[in-house]
DNA sequence: GCAACGAGTGAATCAATGG
DNA sequence: ACCATTGATTCACTCGTTG
């Protein structure tokens, strides 16, 4: 990897991957020298047995050695140690991002606060296409949490408000980001065609992080570099990176990847935003929001049928039960039915199609 | 408030608001007596100075006494104390929800894990209409985090998967919920027309929580009752509630509010149930009842295999013998197989899954 | 060539019951 | 308490093959 000199920090091994334990490696770097740290530490998943899909195929779980910790206490010590080392090398106005799931993120967040970092936001990555919950025992685990924190309460951290606003079609960027998981051509494969790393993050996530909280020429360090998404996006966006990684196999894949990355020219950085489709509004939300009361009666547009609303957003008419679409279809003897335009509610003596209520919700969502 | 006796827990002050410190009040309640706890504890906001909007109007911030803590240590002790007291009164299969923001939720989550609770999901409440970030210095704080945890790892917690799936238009409910904040007519006002409580939660949020993780007749306790959203939704949905609140002014508003709430009728409360809740029907009954004759041949759904029904309700295919599930699994080389949906029988030239016969028996059992 | 279909997969703390 | 058995359970997207 090429070594570039940075102003005021001549010893920094820029645009390199350093091999070894991240605490030791960070402790060997000069203090107050890094602008941003992005960290994707082990999540400490604590999986029990195997999990199979309904079609009996086995879920390829994260059971790597690097994710095994004996107890919360051991994990807390690990977390405290790397956060302490990270804070020393951060510039006074530097900041950190840490990503995690409910298994570890609460411990990470508490440790950040205990070490003197100042939390600026927690940001939720809402996955557009998460893995479902196969046993129907919990909510689909559809998000991960990122914590953004400055080195101290007084730090003048970098925040490119206008650039993020542009990325978000002219309205200020919120703390919840909808982005797809990393798959397809972006997902790195090893020689056997298997995924090279079990938890490769999407470049879109790092793109938003780096556009929002660094400037071109800034130094970005990733202490859990893996296959180098942070480095790839940093290089593309004209930031310098330092990667630290323990596993030689990951380093090899990352170096090949970084060799293929080219820095973008200014024009290429401009992203064209796709238009969003109308958001789907479940009928149940009308009930949850109190726009319809469970027990209220809907009537069909043609006036022939009535059905009662239930607390879970289904309808019931005698022993016919189901969604607004299913009950409509059943009553009409039709193969399908658009319940939104079929069902109406009486309000002040007037019939209102429930679709009007859906429009109202969509209005609020904008 | 009316006091209703619950089976096996005669001392519980159901459907009342108890005045006082929540730890002391909870410690006076019997252990293992509550099905669900919903808690909206102080967020420890640590606000510095006033915040003004671009038009110079002052933002009405949460600066109440009850949200002031001297240090993280004091907040941690407070959190540990109330979580400990809460865990004692929870039934073994009970669960807890705690809501918070980045100021406190990491400390709450870590404390939950330290006290022996088992996190089931973190759920993000994505606000449809959050307050914008007026200064443009951070991301719009557009969400809050809820943690759902059972009393212990082994607990058989309540999760109404099917009802939630219905609420979400037929696809399983995710860990990110888009719901509006509480305003308009739902927002309670005091005598001066000011908002009665600074952080009143929307009923839609509690609706989803209670539909998903309680059943009618369950006891729901809220140790930071405020103006009683938890109680109002619990009463509406036919659950019993216990509220604990320190501030007399909030108790007064909550009692008036609860007096206006009406319980929904039984039909409206009925919710789509899981198949698991259906009575078990042994395959042998199909043979005993003559719906299948010993010697008849079943074929697999994919058409690849056949097997003969035997008089004891087992199947046989060459030297493979056993239950409908065992033979299916063996033939497919799968770790397991649901024989009910795997095997079919020819009737009048058409393939009928044997599950249809089971449905018929269940129908008769009603 | 293109549409239709089927197979594969992603940070997962993922069962309940009867003997 | 443990063990064997029953049988419930998936969303969005990509890619390769078939028609």
pLDDT 10s digits, A25-43: 999 999 999 999 999 999 9
**How many Cα atoms sit within 13 Å of B136 on the Cβ side?**
9
Task: Report residue B270 as tokens.
Answer: 């009925």
Q: Which two tokens stand for residue A279?
A: 């958001």
Residues 328-347 of B with CB under 8 A from A: 332, 334-337
Q: Is the pLDDT of residue A259 over 50?
A: yes
Q: Which pLDDT band, with edges at 50, 70 and 90, does B29 fall under?
A: very high
Q: What number is the average pLDDT over the span B187-200?
A: 94
Give B-chain residues touching A161 at CB under 8 angstroms.
136-137
Question: Domain extents for chain A?
Answer: 16-48+56-269, 283-365
- How far CA B301 is from CA of A115, B295, B363, in Å, comes to 59, 19, 24
- Grouping H, G, I as helix, E, B as strand and the rest as coil, residue A359 is helix
Q: Is residue A3's pLDDT more than 90?
A: no
How much is the pLDDT for A267? Answer: 58
Structure confidence at residue B3 (pLDDT):
42
pLDDT score at B263 = 96
What's the pTM value of the predicted model, to 2 decimals?
0.93
| Residue range B273-320, pLDDT digits in tens | 999 888 999 999 999 999 999 999 999 998 889 999 999 999 999 999
Determine the pLDDT at residue A8: 47
Q: What is the mean pLDDT of residues B315-337?
A: 94
Interface contact A110, partner B, CB < 8 A: yes
Q: Nearest by CB to A323, from B160, B169, B274: name it.
A: B169
Contact residues for B243 (Cβ-Cβ < 8 A; gap 6+): B16, B17, B18, B221, B222, B225, B228, B230, B231, B254
Q: Do B272 and A321 touch (CB under 8 A)?
A: yes
Residue A9 has pLDDT above 50, yes or no: no
More confident residue, A152 or B61: A152
- Measured on CA atoms in the order B4, B9, B14, B20, is the torsion positive or negative? positive
Answer for the pair A144, B282: CB distance below 8 angstroms, yes or no: no
pLDDT at A185 over 50: yes
CA B272 to C1' C5, whole Å? 33
| Radius of gyration of chain A from its Cα atoms, rounded to whole angstroms | 25
Asked whether residue A277 carries a pLDDT value surpassing 80, the answer given is no
Residue B10's pLDDT is 53
**Closest Cβ–Cβ partner in B102, B128, B269 for A364:** B128
User: Which pLDDT score is estimated for B5?
Assistant: 42
Tell me the pLDDT tens digit for each residue of A106-153: 999 999 999 999 999 999 999 999 999 999 999 999 999 999 999 999
Neighbours of A338 (CB within 10 A): 12
For the stretch B292-295, contacts whose Cβ atoms lie closer than 8 Å and that sit 24 or more positions apart, written own/partner, are B292/B345, B292/B354, B292/B357
pLDDT of B262 strictly over 90: yes
State pLDDT tens for residues A75-92.
999 999 999 999 999 999
pLDDT of residue B9: 45
Smallest CA–CA distance from A147 into chain B, residue = B102
**What's the pLDDT tens digit per position in A211-220?**
999 999 999 9
With beta carbons under 8 A apart, name residues in chain B contacting A365.
128, 178
What is the third-level CATH fold of B16-48+56-269? Rossmann fold (3.40.50)
Q: Is the pLDDT of residue A5 over 50?
A: no
Check residue A271 and give its pLDDT: 42
> What is the per-residue pLDDT for B51?
76
- How many other β-carbons are positioned within 10 Å of the β-carbon of residue A207? 18
B217 touches strand D (CB under 7 A): no
Is the CB of residue A112 less than 8 Å from the CB of residue A119?
yes
A60-70 residue pLDDT tens: 999 999 999 99
Q: Is-contact A312 B167, C-beta < 8 A?
A: yes
Q: Looking at A135-228, list the stretches that DSSP marks H as alpha helix, in order from N- to C-terminal side.
A: 161-167, 203-213
In this model, does residue B206 exceed pLDDT 60? yes
Q: A301-330 in b/e burial notation, b at 16+ Cβ within 10 A?
A: eeeebebbbbbbbbbbbeeebbbbbbbbbb
Nearest chain B residue to A122, by CA: B102
Residue A10 pLDDT level (bands cut at 50, 70, 90): low
The 10s digit of each residue's pLDDT in B230-248 is 999 999 999 999 999 999 9
**pLDDT score of B237:** 97
Query: How far does the CA of A322 sit from the C1' of D9, in Å?
Result: 20
Summarised one tens digit per residue, pLDDT across range A284-300 is 999 998 899 999 999 99
**Which range, A151-160, A336-345, B66-75, has the best average confidence (pLDDT)?**
A151-160
Position A363 scores a pLDDT of: 81
Considering only CB atoms, B211 lies closest to which of A72, A110, A311, namely: A311
Please check whether strand D approaches the CB of A193 to within 7 Å. Answer: no
How far, in Å, is the CA of B275 from the C1' of nucleotide C16? Answer: 13
> Stretch B12-27: mean pLDDT, rounded?
98
More confident residue, B278 or A196: A196
């Amino acid at each position: 990897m090429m070594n570039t000199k940075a102003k005021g920090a001549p010893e920094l091994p820029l645009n390199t991957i350093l091999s070894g334990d991240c605490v030791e490696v960070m402790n060997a770097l000069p203090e107050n020298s890094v602008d941003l740290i992005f960290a994707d530490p082990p999540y400490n998943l604590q999986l029990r047995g195997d999990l199979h899909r309904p079609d009996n195929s086995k879920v390829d779980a994260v059971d790597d050695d690097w994710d095994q910790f004996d107890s919360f206490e051991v994990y807390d010590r690990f977390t405290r140690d790397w956060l302490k080392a990270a804070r020393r090398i951060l510039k006074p106005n530097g900041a950190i991002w840490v990503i995690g799931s409910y298994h570890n993120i609460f411990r990470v967040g508490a440790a950040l606060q205990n070490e003197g970092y100042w939390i600026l936001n927690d940001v939720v990555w809402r996955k557009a296409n998460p893995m479902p919950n196969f046993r129907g025992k919990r909510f689909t685990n559809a998000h991960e949490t990122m914590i953004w924190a400055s080195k101290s309460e007084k730090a003048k951290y970098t925040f490119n408000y206008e650039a993020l606003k542009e990325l978000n079609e002219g309205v200020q960027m919120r703390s919840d980001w909808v982005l797809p998981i990393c798959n397809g051509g972006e997902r790195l494969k090893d020689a056997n065609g298997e995924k090279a790393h079990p938890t490769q993050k999407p470049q879109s996530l790092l793109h938003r992080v780096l556009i929002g909280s660094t400037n071109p020429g800034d130094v970005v360090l990733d202490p859990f570099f893996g296959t180098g998404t942070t480095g790839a996006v940093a290089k593309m966006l004209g930031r310098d990176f330092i990667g630290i990684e323990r596993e030689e196999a990951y380093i090899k894949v990352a170096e090949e990847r970084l060799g293929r990355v080219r820095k973008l020219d200014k024009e290429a950085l401009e992203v064209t935003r796709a238009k969003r489709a109308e958001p789907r509004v479940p009928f149940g939300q009308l009930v949850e929001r109190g726009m319809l009361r469970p027990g209220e009666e809907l009537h069909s547009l043609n006036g022939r049928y009535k059905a009662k609303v239930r607390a879970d957003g289904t309808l019931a008419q005698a022993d016919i039960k189901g969604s607004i679409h299913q009950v409509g279809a059943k009553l009409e003897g039709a193969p399908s039915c658009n319940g939104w335009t079929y069902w109406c509610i009486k309000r002040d003596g007037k019939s209102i199609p429930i679709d009007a209520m859906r429009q109202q919700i969509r209005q609020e969502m904008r």
